Structure formats: C-alpha cells, structure tokens
Amino acid sequence: MKAALVEKPGVLTVKDIPEPEMGDYDALCRVLFGATCVGTDQHIIHGRIFEGLQYPVVLGHESIGQVIKIGPKVRHYKEGDLVTRVGTLPSPNGQFDIAWGGFAEFGIARDHWAMRRDGLPRQAWNNFRVNQLVSTGVDAASATMIITWRETLSYITRMGVQGGAKILVIGSGANGLAFTAHAGNLGANHIVQVGNFQRKALALGLGANAYFDYKADDLATLIEQANPEGFDFIIDVVGRQKVIDMFLPMLKPGGMIGVYGVDECDRMSFSYRKAKGSFVCYKGHYDEEESHGQVVSFMRNGLLKAEHWLDMEHPFPLQDINKAFKAVVERRLVKALVMISSNPG
C-alpha cells in the first residue's frame, strides 16, 4: 500500500509499505481522507520535537477510514462504518515507525470498548479511544475536521469557558480558528483574536468580535485600549515565550491562561510580576473521546462547517502531499484535505 513517510527530517515521500496486520479486536479500514496539521506534522517533518520517534515514520493523525473487515472479537464496528483517526501500525520488523500513521491507504481501528469490557489492561486500548464512529449524515471529507475540533473543544471546555466569558485567542491557524468558533458556540460574551491579517474575515465570520493583525505596531497597546477591563481567559495557540510576555498583563486577576501551542512550550517561563494579580496556568490538556459527541452534534446543527477550514472541492491526492503542506505553510489554505483512497470499498 502507499503511505507518506518522513524518511528523515526534511524528507517526506510517498512509498509502498506492507499493509497492517489485524488483531482479534481490530477493524481493517480503507483510509479515505486525511487533513494536514501545520503544527504537529510540520514539527515531525522537520525533526523539531517528539524525541523518541525513529525515522522513517508514517505521518498523519487526522484521518478517516471506512471499515472493510473486522476481527473475531470486534463488536462495535461493522463493514461500511466511518471511523476517526485510523492509521497503520508500526512495522513489526522495525522497517518504519508511525507518527499516528494516518497517511496510508489502509489503517486499523481498534475496538477499545470491547477490550475494556473484556477486562484487557488499559495500556492495550487507551491510545485507541481516538477511534470513534462518525454519525450517519457526516461525510468522510468533512469528518477529517473532527480531530481538530474535538481536541480544541475538550481543551476549552476543561478550561471553563462558558456563557459571559471574555476570551483572547492568540493565533489564527486551524486551532486558533477552532477555539474562536468553540468560544462562540459555548456562549462566550466577547472574543478577541490575534493573527494574520489574511484570516480576519474568516475569524469574524466564525464569531470573533474583534481581530488584530499580529504584525501591527504597538499591538499590546491597541488591544489593551480596546479591552481595558482585560480577559477572563487567554489561549496561546502558538506557544512562544514572547506571546506570554506580551499578553499576560491583559489577564484579569483570577483569570486563566492556557498554552496550547507547542513551538516553545517546553522552554517557557512566566514573568509573573507582569500579571495584574493571581492567575491560573491551565495544564489540563484535552481528551478527544469526551468531546466527540458534542463536535458531531455541532456539525449536524450547522455550528461547525468544514468548508471554513478546508477546500472541499480540491483535495490533494496522496502523491501530492508535499504540495498540500506547501499550500498550508504559505497560508494559501488553513488546512489541506488529502484524498488517500478514492475507492470507498
């Protein structure tokens, strides 16, 4: 089967690799679509984070597969089902590792519900809770957005964002735009976003009340003048030291700041004297399983639409995956949709 491998840092190619071998609790899936992640994927491609990965690695964690075969102990999948975050497995002979392995023509969905009920140890099924069924009425291409949406929805919900909140979102990539959309859907009173000027109209359409170009002169002053009372929540979607230093003074006493981005997250520190008072640094992460149902509900009710993030009409074939990433890095697209298999089975 074809798969997109990072052979070594800086080299992404499409090659033939063996199909994954099924276990008793596994469903073999034909992977239909995947979406690019400009953050995690780019760091893996260029070898900047995720120590311990052994190159070559099969890339991709935003994939949607369709079940074509089930193992003898599978009870919660059937042929034809769409499943989130399916991917191939690491090579048993060490030929390749996986960075989730979703950019491959075939992948595995594991019946973690059955494994849990059959008493298997948590480490055998826990990582496969990301394999969730896609409801009828949600197409496979749109469903690639579920991964981004449920990560960010779990995160912002755990932070406590709700009706009446005032929130500052720093970053206008796919995750930043998702946080803005979620904040509006959760009833936030005022949403301010900082990002690339090209994304202003999109952010305002998704629910932002105000938008600031991150390259603006005296950016901090402009935002503080427009929001003198400060913010209940600040989410740094980029994850850089200078971002925290600039915006921490805008957090209300007792407010909460979350660093979602990973660029410099392991090297960051807080200049706490810049804060107006005591504050909370959120470190609760997220859980995709817990927010899956609500994300699908938002989609079915028209509150989350994939076309705001993806060009649904022009997916990239798998062999053009480098072009897909180039389009995202150059900000011609928020995310790129990759067609991995045109044959649903």
Which candidate, 199, 303, 277, 182, places its Cα nearest to that of 235?
182
Percent of the chain whose pLDDT exceeds 70: 96
- pLDDT the model gives residue 343: 60
- Beta carbons of 139 and 203 less than 8 angstroms apart: no
Please give the pLDDT value at position 59.
Answer: 95
More confident residue, 261 or 124: 124
pLDDT in tens, 104-139: 999 999 999 999 999 999 999 999 999 999 988 899
Rounded distance between C-alpha atoms, residue 28 and residue 69, angstroms: 5
Asked if 13 and 138 sit in the same domain, the reply is: yes
Claim to verify: residue 138 and residue 93 sit in the same structural domain: yes
What is the residue-averaged pLDDT of the chain?
Answer: 93
153, 138: one domain: no
CATH of the domain at 31: 3.90.180.10
pLDDT value at 249 more than 60: yes
Task: Compute the distance between CA of residue 283 and CA of residue 259 in angstroms, rounded to an integer.
Answer: 8
Lowest mean per-residue pLDDT among 33-42, 67-76, 164-173, 186-195: 33-42
275 vs 282, more confident: 282
Query: Which domain covers residue 31, as residue numbers?
Result: 2-144+310-339
Quick one: tokens of 161?
């964002």
User: Is residue 71 domain-shared with residue 197, that is, in the same domain?
Assistant: no
Q: Provide the number of structural domains found in the chain.
A: 2
Q: Does one domain contain both 12 and 130? A: yes
Look at residue 270 and tell me if it is in a domain: yes
Whether residue 177 contacts residue 233, with contact meaning beta carbons closer than 8 Å, is answered with no
CATH number at residue 226: 3.40.50.720
Cβ within 8 Å of residue 228, ≥6 positions away: none
Q: What are the distances in angstroms from CA 292 to CA 125, 132, 150, 195, 199?
A: 17, 8, 6, 27, 26
pTM reported for the whole predicted model: 0.94
Q: What is the pLDDT of residues 147-182, one digit of tens each?
A: 999 999 999 999 999 999 999 999 999 999 999 999
